[in-house]
Structure 1
């Protein structure tokens, strides 16, 4: 079996739309192993040889020396300047000083770009009237990672990107963001990102031969791939292994071990929107209710708005006591963080059932649906694979974080944080279950719980018709609320004007569980995303123009 066949088989095990599962009787482990040996006689031998090679490498004296070097480097201030710094917990609801400084620079940068987009002279634009634009991009595995790349490229080409302040992401979108903002690989270039993904997505991240090749390429590659796990020590988790494997495939670069704070490079002059990476903690309050608590990571800080608690991003992973760090450790590596951002397999039993329901035998569905409905709350509180665990800088218990798609697969919430004051949200929905997912319902509940006004009440999928590739939902000013929130929604669905034969909601290669894309498939996904923006640029321009006019009018009225 060659590498392509190996990848195809691995991918088939994860396909949500696999055809062989519904009609195949459940097998015992021994029966399954026998069947695999019969169908893929070379695979068993390949796996055996692969793991033998891995074991031989891990037991080499050279490898042990590299582990010792990593442990020594973890105390090097020259390599990790953050080791010279102590961190304290900031307990307030304000934006960090670094973010407020960034906003000043970004708005100065935006002025000319916004004038160009709406067809006005820059002299007509007052920075105070610029609409605050945030992009919220959903999870969805490689489909989301590749799809967001297309949307970003189109936003750049049309000028929308230079008018945006924030980019929040979940799961697969976080992977695209971490690549785009990486100062050593993509360097904030969407065309370079496209070509990078066309190369990297051809091989499955779980491909053993590829992993071994990358691991043994050079001592620098070995150290980069294992640094995060070595640093995690006894806290190392299945999620961390996933992150290391994913990182070895997507980054394949000694610089993959850099942290999120290195992305400040693209913000120091306000030249790029600020990335916000989202995760959640599952809070089981009692037997009758549970809630997901949102945490955000930016190149500057991490924390939780509801807790009103924040620390520098480079200090995450340190133990804290009485709001001060008790130790100095290097920043968490990007592969460890990407594993946590995209840890959808740490889902609750209910989320697992929702993912596999479509390929269960039809005869079992009705009974299983009844069981899940009856025990939904209890099953929502059980995670067969536990989330990634870190020292909690804000409390005594460990902080268990997971893929934010467990709560809402579109990250609206960080954009609505007090002080960010977002006027317009470009919602990029790359989910698999677009028409049935409760994104809008949960967002509306969150707005009520947090006392946020101005959310568009009609933001939802209509029950009797389809939405197009771009829909505008207008928020309404109520009472003293003078800042309605406008939602520009981009569902990743069939676009007849682009390709009537390509529906990402049904195309098998677009499954959330597919981690191998051919180059033409990458182009197909990116092309659809670009078309969804390009075909609707006038609609976007109109929304931005009206928001600017409204803010300008309000400012002038207040200054009379």
Structure 2
């Protein structure tokens, strides 16, 4: 019989003396592997050695292994003791093909604080081999302090196997989906109605399920519980007064392990009542199909591969016309060209229109396969992609429509009538199951600013604009962050949205565009919500209200210093992980000052106007060797990446923000090696510093080991930037050529078009105010004068047109490189 994994944690009553007073914990842990055989272990002894506190304290220990149980276990509390001793046993069943990090916390109630965490230890159980005994000694203080006053934790682990059937897993080398079972419960209708009349309800709990606890109501007497099968779920049932306070713990008279029920067969169970009679429950346990609704994989999805095949035919024709090629380009020789736009509110939206017009006039737009955007530049694309053939048409019609919106008075967006509409819309969304958030309100206000009436289009509908490869594939970017207790600079993960899919670059996990916002568990869709209108996604991409105070302080003070600190933190984190293989955190006892610091930290890191979206990665496990996966490593840029219990799959919801709160650049999706991008036409709309964002992105890529050219500039270029720069890395053929366009008013002051000088009467039209402090194009401005609008459109168009030669040279070089690679291959 194959073996199943189980862990037993035993807290001993023995004492351990090391020449000083100490605390002793002794653990026994029993477990095994699951995929094709037996593998496992027992955690046997754990000893905590620590100097006694000045005052006696009430101590207890908590144990949490999120990969094996949602429950956080704790010992009993030892009262008024400097030398507490426990003798308790805890059981976990683990799957050794996933990353299992056991977290131990020692708590103590002091004179000045309650439930204070004294020590936190995270231990990777992969370091324990089946049948072996491992002794780990964790230092609880920095090295210098520990040498004077040593404090450490000793833990002895042993892993052993138990018998059981193998578990089928699905993994992409980073995330793992485990087997699920579904419990169907129907409560007897007649007795349930009697209970409700008596103001009582039936409470059903399966702690190992997605749903957790559910209760009967007037309209609900049947339930589904989706459970991780190998966690051996247990159904608990009790009858409770409706007025009973939430969270009050009372005994469950009926406890039913689901493994006792025959698979697929309905079973009737009786719950006796105090008043006599019995409540009837009808139960059925079924296995759930292993077909996932989340795509786990780093390859491009089939729809995008099909798009590229069709788009390369369009691009090949465009290159042939552009360079008068005498032969047809085979698909492998066709360069992949992308346009990369930054954010910047209405300024970015307007300037991107001007840039696209210019690329169209130069016959270069048909050479482009991807367009990425963020923040304000996303508004341009969501408008354009309602037209299935926009890139084949004159864009003047689109621009006239946008002009109407930018020039109009927008006072009505906060009228009483509009406020009623916002309220009604948000209430309806909440009833449908969407998570309420300030971001949704912002999305509606923003829509009113940019449109006369609600925009009914959806992201998935943009597929009709790419189904024949007739337009470039649009990609919209956002970042996932923690909603509190951590800044954007310590935790952020790139996300991309395109008409086919929405997903995480780092995890290699994607859902269909129409399924984003639906409810998921372990890679399966539990409840499909209707696809949101595009405005709600625009609210996410331009989510300017979700920085925490720490983010704001960073951007308003010394970004260069913070950037240097981030690089240092990342390198130290990587070194710490590689040397130790596990994380140990020592936290000294809290005092009144410590509590004040904790409150201040909450103020600094909380996001009061945060957004919330159902997490489609919820409960997926991390593969045991995920840290060795090259695609994951490429985007390993948060301090928590080596701590699987703190990564996104453990969160109930996503907190998505504008990427501008880290780097105002939409280029991350273009650096996916599967897209193999040769040339990036980078369009920057920053008013503050012309090269700041592209330089930050270049430095970021260098730290991550992502192929990207260095941005090196002369002092003259920094002081007086020109319209166009080309950055390349000849030493690394994987690095794209970057043709960079800062938002500058250089030769446009003197020329209306390339080679056409302005007359004295036209000179005023070449004066475009791009000063960050006084510009009419500041990010928070949503209404322009017609003169300012035309100036910005004409400037961005001119800057591309006058740089034609540099763009063509970059395209020609990419074509030659492709041909050389094809010839050698």
TM-score between both structures, scaled by the size of structure 1 = 0.72
C-alpha offsets along residues 279-306 of structure 1, whole Å, 9 cap, x if unaligned? 0012589799703210000000000010
Residue 126 of structure 1 pairs with residue 330 of structure 2: yes
In structure 1, C-alpha distance between the alignment counterparts of 2:784 and 2:362, rounded to whole Å: 27
Deviation for aligned residue 1:125: 2.5
- Distance in structure 2 (CA, Å) of the matches to 1:379 and 1:132: 45
- Candidates 214, 226, 230, aligned match of 2:428: 230
Match of 1:425 among 680, 692, 695: 680
Distance 1:385 1:521, change over 3 A: farther
Distance 1:380 1:303 in 2: 30
Q: Return the offset for 1:231.
A: 2.0
The separation in 1 between residues aligned to 2:658 and 2:789, in whole angstroms, is: 24
Counterpart for residue 824 of structure 2: 557
Partner of 1:146: 350
1:257 positional shift: 2.6
CA distance in 1, matches of 2:529, 2:730: 48
Structure 2 residue 727 is the aligned partner of structure 1 residue 473? yes
Which whole-Å deviations, capped at 9, do the CAs of 1:345-376 have from their partners, x for residues lacking one? 21232443466x5xxxxxxxxxx779x97xx9
Q: Pick from 296, 300, 308 the counterpart of residue 95 of structure 1.
A: 300
Question: Which segment drifts farther, 319-328 or 245-254?
Answer: 245-254
- Hey, what does 2:792 align to over in structure 1? 525
User: Is 1:391–2:614 an aligned residue pair?
Assistant: yes
Query: For 1:286-333, what per-residue CA distance to the aligned partner results, in whole angstroms no more than 9, with x for missing partners?
Result: 799703210000000000010111100100111101211101211121
Which string of whole-angstrom CA distances, capped at 9 and with x for unpartnered residues, describes residues 508-560 of structure 1? Answer: 211111111122222111111100100011211111112101211221122xx
- 1:500 is displaced (CA, Å) by 4.6
Larger CA Rg, structure 1 vs 2: 2
Confirm or deny: 8 A CA contact 2:485 2:605 kept in the other structure: no
Gap change, CA 1:138 and 1:286, over 3 Å in 2 = closer
Aligned residue for 2:518?
A: 318
Q: Is the 8 A contact 1:320 1:393 kept in 2?
A: yes
Q: Which protein, 1 or 2, shows the higher relative CO under an 8 Å CA cutoff with sep ≥ 6? A: 1
Residue of structure 2 equivalent to 1:279: 478
Give unmatched runs, 5+ long, in structure 1.
Answer: 1-85, 217-221, 358-367
The residue that corresponds to 1:270 in the other structure is 469
Deviation of residue 211 (structure 1)? 5.8
Q: CA deviation at 1:127?
A: 2.7
Alignment of 1:115-514 (within 5 A): 115-121=320-326, 123-183=327-387, 190-203=395-408, 205=410, 207-208=411-412, 227=425, 230-233=428-431, 235-254=435-454, 256-283=455-482, 290-353=490-553, 357=556, 382-395=605-618, 396-397=650-651, 398-435=653-690, 437-449=692-704, 451-453=705-707, 455-459=708-712, 462=715, 465-478=719-732, 482-498=733-749, 500-506=766-772, 508-514=775-781
| Distance (Å, rounded) in 1 between the aligned partners of 2:655 and 2:670 | 23
Helix, strand or coil at the partner of 2:491:
strand
Q: Quick one: structure 1 residues 264 and 177, their matched pair in 2 at CA, closer, same or farther if it must change by over 3 Å?
A: same
Residue of structure 2 in register with 1:537 after alignment: 804
- Point out the more displaced range, 293-302 or 436-445: 436-445
Alignment check: 8 A CA contact 2:769 2:775 kept: no
3-state SS of 2:783 partner: coil
Distance 2:376 2:444 in 1: 15
Count of aligned residue pairs for this structure pair: 446
**Partner Cα separation in structure 1 for residue 360 and residue 430 of structure 2:** 37
**Change beyond 3 A, Cα 1:272–1:287:** closer
3-state SS of paired residue (1:106): helix
Q: Name the SS for the 1:345 alignment partner.
A: coil
Q: Separation in 2 of the partners of 1:91 and 1:208?
A: 45
| TM-score for both structures, normalised by structure 2 | 0.50
Compare the two structures and name the one with the higher helix fraction.
1
Question: Is contact 1:477–1:483 with CA below 8 Å preserved after alignment?
Answer: no
Report the secondary structure of 2:605's partner residue. coil
Deviations 1:213-267 (A, max 9, x none): 7799xxxxx69x965763245723222111112212323345x132101111110
Aligned residues: CA RMSD: 3.3
Q: Deviations over 1:109-143 (max 9, x none)?
A: 1111111122334x243332121111110000110
- Structure 2 SS opposite 1:201: helix
Whether the 8 Å contact between 1:142 and 1:515 is mirrored in structure 2 is yes
